[in-house]
Structure 1
Amino acid sequence: MNFLNPVIPGFHPDPSIVKVGENDFYLVTSSFEYFPAIPIFHSKDLVNWEQIGSVLTRESQVNLRNSKSSGGLYAPTLRYHDGTFYMISTDVSGTGNFYVTAENPKGPWSDPIKIPYGNIDPSLMFDDDGKVYVTVQNGAGYESHIIQYEININTGEALTEPIAIFHGDGGQWTEAPHLYKINGTYYLLCACGGTGEEHRSIIAKSTMPYGPFEMLDRPILTHNQLSHHPIQNVGHADFVEDENGNWWAVFLGTRPVNQQFTLLGRETFLAPINWTEDGWPLIDNNEGTVNEMTEAACLLGESNIKDKYIRNDDFNDEKLHPEWFYLRVKEENNYSLTERKGWLRLNGGADNISTVNGVPTFICKPQEHVVMEFKTLIEFAPNQDGEEAGLSVRLSESSHFEIAIKQVDGEKRVIATKTIQGVTEEIGHCIIHKEKIKLSISSDRENYYFKFAEEYGEWNKIGDASLCHLSSEKNGGFGGTFTGVCIGLYATGNGIECREPAYFDWVHYVGENSLNVTEVSVNNLEQ
């Protein structure tokens, strides 16, 4: 049976997975500067996933107010032991390495328990004898290596001094360690090569938890010699066994648009593991077997293949769906689903999308498809110059596009803008008089398009912008940009508090399965 990769599309990197019971799988991914932090997903079959919440939902757990873009929460590891879930991660902008616990994966999760040693990418391993090991990256660049020590799982206190156990295959950034015990053998799985084109997963094994480790002489997962493959930068993996005794790997990868520009960031992929006779797990070492259409004879459930992916939110509930992010912090007074039933109210603050380390009034979700449309109905009556509310597609403070209602020189306008490398320019505008306006951002494999319409009127295009400007390649590369594009709703006074709130009646997202895209027409998504 075939399934579609990535199994969790859009900006969902560094996946870590556990199985609980016979067939309940849970998975977490990195969230960086977005809050709530560390989204958690559930699946019964490994290919159809639903986000059920986030791990860190309180400022007592994580404070991202000073987190720069691509800062914040890195590389979580999820583990389950004796009725308790454990999530361990690194807040590179504050707390450092810590873990939290929960009896229910939907939460509530505990406040952080700090651990003393290591740089990034900590992992937990519960051994048969009751010992609990932290395995974590240390050092930097080509000096990067893996250290390990035992902790008291109730307090985080180190019970042993850290020991260097693995130095990788000679490449830079040996990181993302996961220690497993499988059939009596300890396996150490690591990422190596940085997050770009040399990214790979390597593995070693030993009869003892501290080694010495015998390393397989080749990566078990990489596309670093397949420059024309549609999936690139694969690595940073985690293993899980299903109820039938089959093993699977989840890992990150990218899908550069037209083999040039990575827009969606690093996404979560799935592939079956094949074991050699001498006990090595293999996935895809430049063989090209990990594809967007992936074949697996042992698939647990129904395929996830669809032509179009549609999500609607009518804001009729008292809480937002868990897939929505805020930028760094949620300022509670700026958001309401109850003030006006069936509408989301946003109160614009002084910060805007360009404010460095800012906390603008902004809710967003990862863009999951290159060919997509995201639209809304907004009611907004600004009464002072600078008040603005609408849609934004954001990579960082210095790279984002908007279409919005804004008051300029006493006029109410629909205006589209682009911010590229920190410089903001107007794409186009149109004077309007109605209070209820539909706004749309759509994209194909070349551009973003910005349109508006009166509530029951025809759509009018007011401009476009090349999507390459929001790609990782144009914004510091994979060593500088760790996120992907997010798209959402915002309001701002551009330096002052808004006097008038903005109300959003609904949002509608439709994305196209990229395997069905040959001659792309964004207009087809509107039908």
Structure 2
Amino acid sequence: MNSPTSGASFHDNPVIPGFHPDPSVCRVGEDYYLVCSSFEYFPGVPIFHSRDLVHWRQIGNVLDRPAQLPLPADAMASDGIYAPTIRHHDGRFWMITTNVSQGGNFLVTADRPEGPWSDPVWLDLPGIDPDLAWDDDGTCWCAFAGAHGPTFTGVQIARVDPGSGKVLEDPFPAWAGTGLQWPEAPHLYRVGGWWYLLIAEGGTERGHTVAIARARSPRGPWESAPANPILSHRGTAHPVQSTGHADLVTTPDGEWWMVLLATRPAGYSPKFHVLGRETFLTPVQWEDGWPRVGPVNLRERAPGALRPQEPAPQRDDFDAPEPEPRLISPRSRPDGSWSLTERQGWLALHATGGTLDRPGCTFVGRRQQHAESRTAVLLDHGTGRAGLSVRLSAGHHYDLEVAGGQASVIARIGPLRQVVATRAVPAGPVVLVITTRSARKWSVGEERLSGLHVAAPDFVAFHVGTDPEPLAELDGRYLSTEVATGFTGRVIGMYVTEGTAWFDWFDHGPLDDAPGRSLTTDLWPTTPPLFGTSRNASALIG
């Protein structure tokens, strides 16, 4: 982190980079705990711990058993788990969320944030984005966003028994926001003699905002803040966009802070964000009974003295008895699809489907957390078909695949699937490397030489072995939300679609800190690629 200036310390945003949207936070003593949406990935709802709101380390996943996370085999990308809320009450942790693919709203509880967390307690409530708040007499209120559609009624509130999930009082309308689309992500807080209802509205794209209202009781009537929206970057040139879906927390010293999601679009207009919606942190001030926030900057004042934690290692050598908690898979991870004991120190993956283009494949990966990144594995593919993939969805991914004595770069973009480049590889284990590098490295002169604007937010390069020349380089915009749609970000992972493959290690980190940096020092051709470039490409998509 950064050195103090004028007595204050500073931190860099986002505080949890990569695909970590819809953050919710609670404090227990001097410890903070935060959860995020996980959508179609298993295990679900990553949970983080911090001592200073800036340095976060993932300590597990709330939904780490199939019984907690029933997802249909054909669950679509960006379905699954939406918008969790985490709270600590009466000595227990409570997490409430929505499974939009199966079951609706439910909550789980735990004595310790690392778990184990209980099986789901389902609530007979419609809508999404549920929240829990307790009154002084123990009454539990559940606020949620009403079902979208022609009968959308904004935020509703119900009185519930969180232990059983029973609805004690039918939902009643609370607040429909300021008139923008999709009032959602409600959080209720008791501050002094007022109840405050924080929401997001305007849609989770560039028009995203944070608004707030207050009332003397959760039953209303609700008074909208005179300065609403209290946070929005819409229509600005700010490098941080889509600010919304926020939660508030206080420090032991009584300071107020906000966690929220936002994006960092890059490239030529309309710009593209590829890492997904990320978790940011910003200070909150109170004036005349209302919170005042923002703008949210890439460099912010930090909350008091920073207390860095030991960072999680970027390399996994597969020596543990269970998968590292940052490793995720689409929809499920059947016991028969992986093993850490078949070959000591290796992750074995067994094919459960013949393609990454449809559900049912064997894929284990990590969220891409660095705009300029290096991901590497040591793969022993045997006689099977396996590799390393950059995945946004089943319909949008780039693969570096080894099979039949060849390494291939394959691009799947919507209805198009093409082998971009191939190269012979020797039998036995092989190192595969995927790097991403910002398109800002190109100069105006290089853009004009190519005859095109460099529209890409980044370029994705694919290496085999220790060869510094990439097998191919592809334009990263096609693995962005603006192209692929949805709510997730890139996940880079290991896969097998035929037979069995073994992975000795998996390493993901920032490009500048990459071990063996000779692989990533001079990767760029004299002119920027239009879609892909390779000395071995038989055909390119333009």
State the Cα deviation string for residues 391-449 of structure 1 (Å, max 9, x = none).
00000011000102112xxxx11111110113210111112223111101111123100
1:53-72 to 2 correspondence within 5 Å?
Answer: 53-64=60-71, 65-72=73-80
Q: 1:452 to 1:440 in 2, by over 3 A?
A: same
1:173 and 2:172 aligned: no
Aligned partner of 2:396: which letter? S
**2:257 is matched by which residue type in structure 1?**
W
Q: Which amino acid aligns with 1:405?
A: V
1:269 and 2:266 aligned: no
**Cα deviations by residue, 1:90-131 (Å, 9 ceiling, x for unpaired):** 100001011111111111111111111231101011111110
Q: Does 1:338 align with 2:326?
A: no
Letter in 2 for 1:208: S
Distance 1:319 1:426, change over 3 A: same
Hey, what's the Cα distance between the residues in 1 that align with 2:74 and 2:156?
A: 29
The yes-or-no answer on 1:400 pairing with 2:397 is: yes
Segments of structure 1 that go 5 or more residues without pairing to the other structure are 515-520
CA contact (8 A) 1:397 1:422 kept: no
SS of 1:468's equivalent in the other structure is helix
- CA deviation digits over 1:345-396, x for unaligned, max 9? 11122242111xx1211111110111111011111221xxxx4111000000
Distance 1:522 1:68 in 2: 36
Corresponding residue number in structure 1 for 2:13:
5
Q: Which amino acid aligns with 1:231?
A: V
Give the aligned partner of residue 507 of structure 2.
508
Maintained 8 Å contact 1:46/1:300: no
Alignment partner, residue 381 of structure 1: 382
Write the distance in 2 (CA, Å) between the matches of 1:47 and 1:482: 24
Match of 1:223 among 225, 229, 233: 233
After TM superposition, the structure 1 = structure 2 runs for residues 255-334 of structure 1, keeping only pairs within 5 Å, are 255-258=264-267, 260-276=271-287, 278-284=288-294, 289-296=295-302, 298-302=303-307, 311-334=314-337
Residue 350 of structure 1: aligned partner: 353
Counterpart for residue 494 of structure 2: 489
- Secondary structure of the 1:473 match is helix
Secondary structure of the 1:469 match is helix
Q: 1:513 to 1:84 in 2, by over 3 A?
A: farther
Task: Report if the CA contact (8 A) 1:144-1:172 is conserved.
Answer: no
Query: Aligned with 1:162: secondary structure?
Result: strand
Shift of 1:225: 2.7
CA–CA distance in structure 2, aligned partners of residues 436 and 240 of structure 1: 49
Aligned to 2:249: 240
Q: Deviations over 1:236-282 (max 9, x none)?
A: 00001111100110000001123611100100000110111x11111
Range that drifts further, 64-73 or 134-143? 134-143
CA distance in structure 2 between the aligned counterparts of 1:525 and 1:110, rounded to whole angstroms: 51
How far does residue 229 in structure 1 lie from its aligned partner after superposition? 1.1
CA distance in 2, matches of 1:321, 1:199: 33
Q: Measure how far apart 1:468 and its partner are.
A: 0.3
Q: Secondary structure at the match of 1:201?
A: strand
Read off the aligned partner of 1:375 and give its amino acid letter. Answer: A
Given that 1:444 and 1:522 are in contact with CA atoms closer than 8 Å, whether structure 2 keeps it comes out as: no
- Other-structure match for 1:428: 421
For the residue of structure 2 that corresponds to 1:333, the secondary structure is helix
In 2 relative to 1, CA 20–103 (structure 1 residues): closer, same or farther, beyond 3 Å? same
TM-score (norm 1): 0.89
Q: Supply the distance in 2 between the matched residues of 1:513 and 1:14 (Cα, whole angstroms).
A: 29
Contact 1:354 1:422 in 2 (8 A): no
- Residue in 1 aligned with 2:220? 211
User: Within 2, Cα distance between the matches of 1:422 and 1:377?
Assistant: 31
Alpha-carbon distance in structure 2 between the residues aligned to 1:310 and 1:109: 25
SS at match of 2:482: coil
Residue in 1 aligned with 2:208?
199
CA contact (8 A) 1:27 1:41 kept: yes
Q: Hey, what's the Cα distance between the residues in 2 that align with 1:66 and 1:416?
A: 26
Following superposition of structure 1 onto structure 2, how do residues 69-88 of structure 1 map, counting pairs within 5 Å? Answer: 69-88=77-96
Q: CA deviation at 1:232?
A: 0.3
Superposed, which structure 2 residues align to 1:87-236 within 5 Å?
87-140=95-148, 143-217=152-226, 218-226=228-236, 228-236=237-245
Post-superposition Cα deviations, 1:171-223, rounded to whole Å, max 9, x if no partner, equal 11000100000122100000000111110010011111211111113211110
Cα distance in 1, alignment partners of residues 153 and 400 from structure 2: 44
Number of aligned residues:
487
- Give, in whole Å, the separation in 2 of the partners of 1:468 and 1:324: 24
Cα distance per residue 1:140-160 (max 9 Å; x no partner): 268440111111122111111
Question: What is the TM-score when the length of structure 2 is the normalising length?
Answer: 0.87
Q: Matches of 1:81 and 1:66 in 2, distance apart?
A: 36
1:294 shift after superposition:
1.3
- Paired with 2:521 and 2:59, the residues of 1 have a C-alpha distance of 31
The answer to which of 316-325 and 4-13 deviates more is: 316-325
User: Where in structure 1 do 4 or more consecutive aligned residues deviate above 6 Å?
Assistant: none
**Structure 1 residue 459: Cα displacement:** 4.0
Change (3 A) 1:525 1:509: farther
**Structure 1 equivalent of residue 38 of structure 2:** 31
Q: Name the amino acid aligned to 1:295.
A: R
Q: Is the 8 A contact 1:90 1:96 kept in 2?
A: yes
The gaps in structure 2 that reach 5 residues or longer are: 1-8, 439-457, 524-542
Tell me by how many angstroms 1:76 deviates: 0.4
How do 1:511-522 and structure 2 match up within 5 A?
A: 511=510
Secondary structure class of the residue paired with 2:332 = coil
Residue in 1 that maps onto 2:534: none
2:437 aligns with 444
Q: Which amino acid aligns with 1:219?
A: P
Note if contact 2:146-2:154 (Cα within 8 Å) is conserved in structure 1: yes
In the alignment, what sits opposite 1:518? none
What amino acid is the match of 2:282? A
Partner Cα separation in structure 1 for residue 161 and residue 214 of structure 2: 25
Contact map agreement 1:326 1:363 (CA 8 A) in 2: yes
**Partner Cα distance (1:513, 1:435) in 2:** 29
Q: Does the 8 A contact of 2:511 with 2:520 survive in 1?
A: no
Give 1:460 shift. Answer: 4.4
Q: Does structure 1 conserve the Cα–Cα contact (< 8 Å) formed by 2:105 and 2:122?
A: yes
8 Å CA contact 1:7–1:269 kept in 2: the answer is yes
Q: Distance in 2 between matches of 1:350 and 1:215?
A: 52
Alpha-carbon distance, 1:170 to partner: 0.5
Q: 1:146 to 1:152 in 2, by over 3 A?
A: same
RMSD: 2.0
Counterpart-to-counterpart distance in 2, 1:337 and 1:207:
55
